[in-house]
Amino acid sequence: MPASRIVDPTAANINVAADMLRRGELVAFSTETVYGLGADALSAAAVGRIFAAKGRPANHPLIVHISDASELTHWATDVPNGAIKLAEAFWPGPLTMILRRGRNVLDELTGAQATIGLRIPAHPVALKLLRRFGSGIAAPSANRFGQVSPTTAAHVAEGLGDRVGLILDGGPCAIGIESSIVDLTGTLPRLLRPGMLSRAAIEEVLGTALDRDNSSAPRVSGSLESHYAPRTPVRWLSADAILKALKHEAGRLATGVIALEDQPVDAMAAAQWRNLSADPDAYAHELYAQLRELDALKLDLILLEIPPDTAEWEAVRDRLQRAAGGHNAGKP
């Protein structure tokens, strides 16, 4: 499939991208979390092209990116005070808020639900594009549905080819995993998807604990059991279990490992070993790129070391578990 056109985010190219959006075309662009696949959020036809390009189920809602908190009331209704507090504290930034949708919001954006996801990205390229376009841009991650999200322009081109006509290259994404999603439509706020904006930071601003019962929550991006997954089968295991698995599978399976430690001397020499930082922010920044690199090697198996079960690792653990979920992963 032909590659998408990758361009520098000059003023002229941002103008071109905005014009393409107005014509109903798709444009990929950098954010601080992952690259987004953008379309005019007011056009049902344009939004439909996102679903077609990604192979995304029609009932899986999209997040709408806006450029200023003053636009909240255009997209949402009955905006609670907690949403205003969170917007003041964290926007622009890696926070998506789920609110009750406005009366003119397209069903295609919401999966026909009564809610809408909104955020303001903290990236100069995304903000310039939003301001130049002058309206909301629907933008899920710029990859095929359920696969590893892109954190560079090259990742977008590799995954989508000519399904997207233009990619604004803002460099590698600073955070590297998707935004935290907070639902503010119920009696109590709840965290539907953890991100690198922590649960504790959100609770501090709201002045209340987030409800941990998500059983009646609306559908949101990245909430399926299998998501963020490479094509290669994945298991997530303890460090000791990884070494045992390598010894058991020696000579039978081509294996990749993503771990928190350097490769031990007694580990299978043939394994493709990647050690990431023990700092959760640095780990998140590199995770998707390393998953993609191992996936490209066409291995038989990727083993992921389970990181600590602590608050600062909540978002990373969520991504690892979902990456392994589609392959009935071995659990700890």
Cα–Cα distance between 194 and 208 in angstroms, integer?
Answer: 17
Residues 91-147: pLDDT tens digits?
999 999 999 999 999 999 999 999 999 999 999 999 999 999 999 999 999 999 989
% pLDDT > 90, the chain: 79
State residue 329's pLDDT score: 44
Distance CA 137, CA 126 (A): 10
Helix (H) or strand (E) holding 265: none
Query: Is the sign of the CA dihedral 182, 185, 189, 191 positive or negative?
Result: negative
> 47 to each of 13, 61, 110, 190, 323, how far by Cα in Å?
22, 11, 11, 27, 26
Residue 11 CA to residue 20 CA, distance in Å, equals 14
Q: Quote the CA–CA distance of 80 and 136 in Å, as a whole number.
A: 20
The token duo for 97 is 């808020």
